Chain A
């Protein structure tokens, strides 16, 4: 690596980080104002039979008695100091509440991502390499069903089968690896199906490329073709869809966590929106946006690593 290449790479990263900051600011601002349109949390928090004066006092305590612009400036000021505010309902720092839940959601999302990659990429490869033969005819309907079933339906069916009928897996709550299986499968089924279809399409597209014919003209068999030639060439489109799926897994976990009473971020999100717990909702949205931005940045860097042509384009654009 020469100095010029390092400089352009640093410039590229700097640009991307700047874009990320702007995106983050945009998201937080949008959420801040959208929440203010959703109603008055003081009314919701005040005990039954509270007078107008009680509610006004509560509003003052929450910092909601000043103008929206003033609130916004206070919020930004806190944000710059790393202070995301206190939960209205639970009277604890929003960040701390989130931190308690994050490990559970990560467990669930990573397990689901793992299942999606293994089964999605595997099924997609098998379907593409056996186009028109029985493995594809068997797998394709499974994939379509997986993609057509929403999480709340898959989850309930799985509970009925494995918890109620066979009684081999717990239906709700968190208690070690066995309790992770059903939620992870539920969460993964949709994204595994998507990954399988994208993989199948990508592999079929690559199989039609001239370089595949060249590899075969060298005497390469299917195994070598897949491992040495196709794997890397299909990794870019698969990575693209996986990056989107990470976001979907985080979003989809809201429903899945509710079905299985999983003590993760999804539950907390629903609770906080329900209670108009502005600081908590804001903190969760900022975290989600941050994850999304980081995943996208990492994906872009991975493209450049996987496909040398992309890094050349990046350099050309940077200079």
Chain B
């Protein structure tokens, strides 16, 4: 199964991006027997590439993000494999994590209003990353912090560096968060819903900034918003109930979704070009909570096309040569590939 699930990610190698920075295989985050909040996450990310992880609340997106920076609560157990630049992330001790966090992997959190220390100047919060990871000299750190603030588009950076978070606007605070995430020149930036708390116009600016400022890193971008995915992602990983149901290049996933869940997510995004016609479609039902997940395809209960075979769990299998893969027995939009797949993989559980 492992060979099948990882094939699409390694096979699709667009030449425009660099070497593989992050290689996650079958990552699991468990809170006890039968409580696998993340139930097999497989993805790769190359330098300069942004991989969006999409799904509804409760799909395990944030836990996946925290697992990649070792910030999960102590009650969580992580298994599987996640290799960042040759360093295995699974099973590191807290001490081993400290050397990586900030320097090789950094995080951008959803709400900068609470994610920044309210009693510390924003400049000091940026400098801290450098102080931890060995940039010597207060003056050098301070100059670099101002430089970073300027580069993320904070006007009058030398003055703003002395401000406290409550003195800045939401957009400025999120820019500060990005500066913190970039301060250690990490190989991997994990952004967990970084624009959800922002106004739409500010959101667009911050997305543009993120795209520009992370050219030297791989970005895992967690979001529930397909509109944001279209803005920022190079590749998309769709999660449902803890596992990957579809992954592939942005255009392919948006234009020809293969998994019914992806199709339903896309259908619930309003199309600005189409005239308003009644209510937006929604996906009936809800994500099954942890501990109530049945055997077989996790989307079965909400899927309009579910059949008897869906009682068996479908593997994440390659569908197109472009690198798309879906975990579905009856994938959509597979005019060319459908015959081959159903014939080849019918028997593979």
Contact = CB atoms under 8 A, between A and B. Distances in A.
Contacts, number: 77
B101 A218 contact: yes
Contacts of A221: 98
Nearest to B105: A217
A70 interface: no
A213 interface: yes
Nearest to A308: B164
B297 interface: no
A217 B120 CA distance: 16
Size category of the binding interface on chain A: 20 to 34
A309 interface: yes
A309 B128 CA distance: 22
A293 B78 CA distance: 55
Nearest to A229: B117
A280 B69 CA distance: 66
Nearest to B110: A210
Nearest to A212: B117
Contacts of B69: 217
Contacts of B164: 308-309
Contact of B99 (A209, A216, A219, A307): A219
A137 interface: no
B132 interface: yes
A36 interface: no
Interface string A220-233: 11001000110011
Interface residues of B, number: 31
B119 A307 contact: yes
B281 to A, nearest CB: 34
A214 interface: yes
B101 A306 contact: no
A163 B188 CA distance: 65
B117 A218 contact: no
Contacts of A210: 109, 111, 114-115
Contacts of A215: 117, 128
A315 B325 CA distance: 59
A211 B128 contact: no
Contact of A308 (B101, B107, B119): B119
Contacts of A130: none
A308 B180 CA distance: 21
B12 interface: no
A178 interface: no
Contacts of B133: 219
A214 B101 contact: no
A213 B71 contact: yes
Interface in B96-114: 97-103, 106-107, 109, 111, 114
A312 interface: yes
Contact of B106 (A213, A217, A224, A229): A217
Interface string B180-219: 1000100000000000000000000000000000000000
Given A217-B101, A217-B107, A220-B128, A209 B114 contact: yes
B120 A228 contact: yes
Contacts of A229: 117, 120
B227 interface: no
B98 A219 contact: yes
Contacts of B107: 214, 217
Given A214-B109, A308-B166, A219 B119 contact: no
Contacts of B328: none
B270 interface: no
B349 interface: no
B134 to A, nearest CB: 10
A296 to B, nearest CB: 22
A272 to B, nearest CB: 45
Given A216-B71, A216-B101, A307-B118, 10 more contacts: A210-B115, A211-B115, A214-B116, A217-B69, A217-B109, A218-B101, A218-B184, A219-B133, A224-B132, A309-B164
Question: What are the 7 tightest A-B residue pairs by CB atom distance, in nearest-first order?
Answer: A219-B102, A218-B102, A210-B114, A219-B101, A211-B117, A217-B107, A210-B115
23 contacts: A210-B111, A210-B114, A211-B115, A211-B116, A211-B118, A213-B71, A213-B109, A215-B117, A216-B71, A217-B101, A217-B107, A217-B109, A218-B128, A218-B180, A219-B97, A219-B98, A219-B99, A219-B100, A219-B102, A220-B98, A228-B120, A229-B120, A308-B166
